[in-house]
Structure 1
Amino acid sequence: ARLGADVKVNDWLVGGLQFVTGLQTTPLTPNQTEGIAQGKYVFGLDRAFLKATPTPWLMVEGGRFANPFLSTDILFDPDLAFDGVAATFSPKLTDNLTSFTTVGAFPIEEIESSNTNQAKDKWLYSLQSGFKWQAPNKSTVKLAVAYHDYKNVEGQSNSNFLNDFNATIPAFRQRGNSTFNIDQLNGGNSGLANPIALASQFEQINIIGQIDFLNFDPVHVTLTGDYVKNIGFDKNEIFQRTGEIYDEETDAYQVKLDVGTSPFLGTRHEVINKHDWQVSLAYKRIESDSVLDGFNDSNFRLGGTDTKGWALIGNYAFDKNAWVGARYLSADTVSGFPFSVDVFLVDVNAKF
C-alpha cells in the first residue's frame, strides 16, 4: 500500500510525502509477504521532497523523490527513490519541439572516513539531455542521451591485517555484477560473513528513444528502445585493484512495444478510466557489468544483471482508477551458470 499527498505551498512550490508498506530493507520493491504471523505492517517513508517551478521551463526538486530521468527498468527499478537534488530545464524551441536537460547529484551511501576507514562516500552524478517532438495528431517522438557516473561504488581490498576498506562493500545488491573478496590480502581478518564487493567501476552512457503513435486515437502504439554501456569497466584497472581477470560484459538493451488506451503508470496524478487497457511485449538483455545490479528491475529473473529474456504484460481497468494487471517474465542467464526463472505476477490495484 502507498499513501501519499502533495501540498501546494504557493504558485511555484510544492511539497510531497509518500509512505509505503512492505519490505523496508531494500531500495527497490516494497512488496509485502502476507500472513497472520507476520504481525503488523510497517510504514516507511518513501518520498519526502520539495519541488520548485519558478518558470515554466525550470523545475528543481530536492529530498527523496521519484526518478527524474527518462529511462526504463533495465537501469532503474520503478520503485527506486532518488535522494539528493535534481534540476530539469525544458525550454520550448518551437510550437512542436521541446528540449529537456536534467542534472542531478544523489548520495548513495555516507561513509565516515578515518585513519582506520579509508572508504569514501558513494555518489551518483547524472546528466541527461534530449528533445520531444509532437506531431499535429499528438503523436510524439522522444530521444535522450544520459551520462551516469557512480563514484566510489567499486570495492577495495583490505590491507594486511586491517579492515580499512570494509565499507566499500555495497549496502545492497541483487545478483549479476562481477565481485571479489576484499579479504584476499588480510587473510580473512575482517571477520565479515560476506566480504564481497563490486569489481567494476560504473560510468554509464544511456541512449533512449520512444515513439508514441496516436494514429489510432484513443489507442496508443508506443515503441521504446533503451541502450546502456558501462564505459567505466577497465580490465587492467580491475586486475591491478583486485588481482582478478573478468570478461568485459558491459552492454544492456531493451526493446518494448506497448498498445493500449492508458500507460497504467500508477502515478498519483494519472487518471485511469473504466475499460482502459494495455498490452506490452518486451525483450531485454542485460550483461553482468552493464548496470548496477542493486538498482535495476527486481522482478526480471528475480532481480539483477546477467539476464536476458521476454516480458509479457497486460492491464485492464474494471472501473475508474481500479484495474487488474498481469506480468509473465521469462529470463535466462547471459553468460553465467544456467539459471532460468519464469515469474508470473498478478496485481489488483486501486488509487484515490
Structure 2
Amino acid sequence: MNFKTKKLVLAVSLALACQGASAGEKEELEALRQTTLNLIQALVDQGLLPKKQAEALITRAAASPVTDAFSSKTEAGVIRVPYVPESVKKEIREQIKHEVLAQAKNERWGDPGALPDWVGRFKLDGDVRLRYQKDIFQKDNFTPTQLAPFGININNTSEDRERLRLRARLNVKAKVTDDLVAGLRLTTGNTTDPVSTNQTLGTSFNKYSVMFDQVYLKYDPYRWLSASGGRIPNPWFSTDLVWDKDLNFEGVAATLKPRITDNLTGFLTGGAFPLQEIESSDTVKAKSKWLYGIQGGGEWISDNQSKFKVGLAYYQYMNVAGKPNAVLNSSNFNGTAPQFRQKGNSVFNIDNDGNPATNLWALSSNFREINLTASADFAAFDPVHVVVTGDYVKNVGFNRSEILQRTGQDIEPRVKGYQTKVTLGMLDTYKLGDWQAYVGYRHLERDAVLDAFTDSDFHLGGTDTKGYFVGGNYGIGKNAWLSMRYMSADAIDGPPLAIDVLQVDLNAKF
C-alpha cells in the first residue's frame, strides 16, 4: 500500500466509523466523512483515481482495523465510538491535505505534459571548446633523430605549428537512490591518450571519435562520507603539476570529510587504481601495475568566506619500473614497459635484439611521490578574489644504486618539482564582464613524477621542464567566455628542447 492509499484508507476509516457513533459524535465526524468522500470523488472526476480503485478504498477502509480501533462492543447490538478530540481530527485533516497535495505536486498529477518519474532523476550538462593553438620551437633544439637515443619520441622540434582544435563533453548523472548516483561522460579524443580530450581539425571532413571519459557509481550515505568506483573524476586536491586536468582514474576511492569546527573541515582520501592488468605466466614475467594513494588535509573558511586549504598526499606506484629481457630475443619482461609515456622520465632499453629501430623503452626509476598542495583564496573584495596556490612534489622512490644494478645506468637523482600560481579576478567567468588573470612558474625535474600523467600542454607534456605561464579569462555572455594562455618552457637537464605554446579558446557550457 503506497503513501496516498494509506492516508485515504485512514480518512475513510474515520469517516465510516461515524456510522456507528452516537448522535452527538456523528455530528462531529460527519464533516470529516463528507470531506474524505468528496476528496475521493474529486480524484475520480479528475481522472487521477480510477472509479474501481476508489470503491476499493472505501471497501478496504470499512474492513480496516483502523475502524475497529475507534470502536468497541460494550453490549449486544450497541457500538460505542471513543471520543476523538477536535485537535486530533484537525491534525489528521491537515496532514492528509498537506501530504496528498505535496505528493500531487511532486508527481505532477493531472499535468498532461508531465514526464515519467525516471526523467526527473537525470541531470545533463556539458561544454564545448574551440581552440587555436600555436607551438613555437627554438631553432637550436635537438632534432628528433638526436633526441631518439634519450627515449624522447617527438616528430618535430624546429618548425612552428598552428592547429585548430575542438573539445566536446557531455555529462550525465542519474540518481539511482537518495545515496547512490550513476555517472558517465562522453568526450572527444582518442583511446591512446589519457591526458587529452582534444580533437585536431583537419581530417578531410571525416567524423570524430567519441568515447566514455567517465563511467562510475558514487555513494554518498552521509555528509561526511563518499565513495566512488569505476572510471572516476580525479579524487585528489591537486594542481596540474602532478595530475593533468583531463586525467580520470580507473579504480575505487573514498573520502572522509569530518567537520572539526564551524569553520574547519578535514578530509582524508584513499584510493586504489589498476594501471595495467597483465596476465603473468611462465613466459610473461611482468606483473600488473597499480597506483595506491592517500591524502589528508583540511579547509578553513573565514567569516568573510576566504578559504585556506592544504593537503598532503602519498602516491605509490607498483611494478612500473622496467626490467631488462635477459635472454637474447626474449620478451619475458616486455610488459614492464609503460603503455603510455609523454617525455622526460629516465628510461632504458629493455629490448636486447641489437636493433636500435626496435628499442623498447622502460622507466629506470620506481615512483613513490610525496605531494604537498596548498591554496589561499582571499575574498575580502568579493566578487574579486586573490587566489594563491602552491604545489611541491618529491619522488622518494628513486634509488640510485638499485637503478645502477638493474639497468647498468648511473643516473643522478632529479626528483623534485614545484609550482606557484597567483590568480586575480572572479572565481569563474560564466557571466558577461567577469574576468580573471593569472601568472605562474613551474619547475619539474625529470623523475619527480610519472611523466605520463602530468600536464600535457606545458612543454607539450612531460617532465624535465621549467618556465612560466600567464593567461586570463573574460566572460562574453552567460556561460560563455574567452580564454588565453601562453606557456614558455625549457628543458632542465636533458638535451636542448625549448617549446612555447599559445592557446586561445572560445568556451561554452550548458
Whether TM-score is above 0.5 comes out as: yes
Distance (Å, rounded) in 2 between the aligned partners of 1:208 and 1:157: 36
- Report how many residues are paired: 342
Task: Report SS of the residue matched to 1:323.
Answer: strand
Contact 2:350 2:359 in 1 (8 A): no
Distance (Å, rounded) in 2 between the aligned partners of 1:29 and 1:311: 19
TM-score, structure 2 normalization: 0.66
Matched, 1:273 2:440: no
Pairwise CA RMSD = 1.3
Matched, 1:282 2:440: yes
Distance (Å, rounded) in 1 between the aligned partners of 2:201 and 2:388: 36
Residue in 2 that maps onto 1:65: 232
Work out which of the residue numbers 460, 466, 480 in structure 2 matches 1:302: 460
Opposite residue 320 of structure 2, the aligned amino acid is: V
Matched, 1:177 2:345: yes
Distance (Å, rounded) in 2 between the aligned partners of 1:38 and 1:164: 43
Opposite residue 176 of structure 1, the aligned amino acid is: G
Cα distance per residue 1:260-284 (max 9 Å; x no partner): 11246xxxxxxx2222221111100
Pick the structure with greater CA Rg.
2
Deviation at 1:220, TM superposition (A): 1.2
Residues 36-115 of structure 1 correspond to what in structure 2 (within 5 A)? 36-37=203-204, 39-115=206-282
Q: Which has the higher strand share?
A: 1
Deviation at 1:36, TM superposition (A): 4.6
Work out which of the residue numbers 387, 390, 393 in structure 2 matches 1:228: 393
Task: Give the 3 Å change call, closer, same or farther, for CA 226–93 of structure 1 in structure 2.
Answer: same
Distance (Å, rounded) in 1 between the aligned partners of 2:387 and 2:341: 32
Opposite residue 261 of structure 1, the aligned amino acid is: M
Work out which of the residue numbers 421, 435, 438 in structure 2 matches 1:256: 421
Deviation at 1:22, TM superposition (A): 2.5
Structure 2 residue runs without a partner (length 5+): 1-167
Residue in 1 that maps onto 2:336: 168
Q: Which has the higher helix share?
A: 2
Contact 1:176 1:289 in 2 (8 A): yes
TM-score, structure 1 normalization: 0.95
Distance (Å, rounded) in 2 between the aligned partners of 1:192 and 1:11: 57
Residue in 1 that maps onto 2:7: none
> How high is the sequence identity, in percent, across the aligned residues?
51
Structure 1 residue runs without a partner (length 5+): 265-271
Distance (Å, rounded) in 2 between the aligned partners of 1:281 and 1:312: 4
Residue in 2 that maps onto 1:31: 198
Task: Give the 3 Å change call, closer, same or farther, for CA 159–328 of structure 1 in structure 2.
Answer: same
Distance (Å, rounded) in 1 between the aligned partners of 2:443 and 2:218: 35
Opposite residue 239 of structure 2, the aligned amino acid is: T
Contact 1:260 1:277 in 2 (8 A): yes
Deviation at 1:232, TM superposition (A): 0.2
Cα distance per residue 1:9-47 (max 9 Å; x no partner): 121111111011123321111111112515110101100
Distance (Å, rounded) in 2 between the aligned partners of 1:261 and 1:22: 30
Cα distance per residue 1:290-313 (max 9 Å; x no partner): 000000000000000000001112
Moved more, 45-54 or 30-39: 30-39
Opposite residue 108 of structure 1, the aligned amino acid is: L
Contact 1:24 1:30 in 2 (8 A): no
Distance (Å, rounded) in 2 between the aligned partners of 1:159 and 1:20: 42
Task: Report SS of the residue matched to 1:238.
Answer: helix
Work out which of the residue numbers 462, 468, 475 in structure 2 matches 1:317: 475
Residue in 2 that maps onto 1:267: none
Task: Report SS of the residue matched to 2:204.
Answer: helix
Distance (Å, rounded) in 1 between the aligned partners of 2:293 and 2:503: 32
Task: Report SS of the residue matched to 1:215.
Answer: coil
Distance (Å, rounded) in 2 between the aligned partners of 1:129 and 1:192: 46
Matched, 1:203 2:361: no
